[in-house]
Amino acid sequence: MLIVYVVIALLVISIVLMMLAFSNPELLARGWKFLVRVVRRAVGLPTFTPEQEEAKAKAKKLAPYMALAGQIEQLVPGQTLRYKIARETWGGDFVTVELNPQHPQKGRKYILSIENAVNGMPGGKKSIIYDSDQSIELAASVLDRNGEPFVVAEEIPVSAERKEAENTGKGGTVV
């Protein structure tokens, strides 16, 4: 007889939880997080408050955008960041981010443009999509379109020692 009461009690609890889930899913989610925290604390694992979990999730989401925005901010005149994207997104194969050479007098600091592929390499005419003073806007535009870094051989950064050896005519194999 005790088993029947336990089964009925579990059935009533499950029905109440289902009604709660349909009427107020946020309350159920908070209860679930509370239960997980209690179990983690009992097992000895680190626990986080809901605010800490939200901040952690937000930081995790922003991390790639912030990393790319940092690279964009470190651009020097004449240097470009190029990303391969799907042709359907903007009608080009490559997205190029560079400093606007006319920035202080005209336009904004950064330019985002597209290029078509010629024999698998960027080439042809660049079409400016837009310009911006905010590097995070450009980073979001590139990463939202699944841009993959694309480096052309002549654009690979050269170490200071190798540049010096080439300038003095010694050649050498310093990398």
Q: Which residues make Cβ contacts (< 8 Å) with residue 94, sequence separation at least 6?
A: 82, 83, 84, 85, 114, 115, 116, 117, 122, 150
Please state at what angle helix 2-23 crosses helix 25-43, rounded to 10 degrees: 120
- Residue 1, Cα to own-chain centre: how many angstroms? 59
For residue 164, what are its two tokens? 């010096």
Distance CA 171, CA 175 (A): 11
In tens digits, the chain (175 residues) has pLDDT values of: 888 988 999 899 888 877 777 777 777 778 778 888 888 888 887 777 777 777 777 777 667 778 888 888 888 888 888 888 876 666 677 888 888 887 778 888 888 888 888 887 887 788 888 888 888 888 888 888 878 888 766 555 544 444 454 555 544 444 3
**Where do runs of H (alpha helix) occur along 24-159?**
25-43, 50-73, 87-90, 135-144
What is the chain's length? 175
Residue 152: its pLDDT value, please? 67
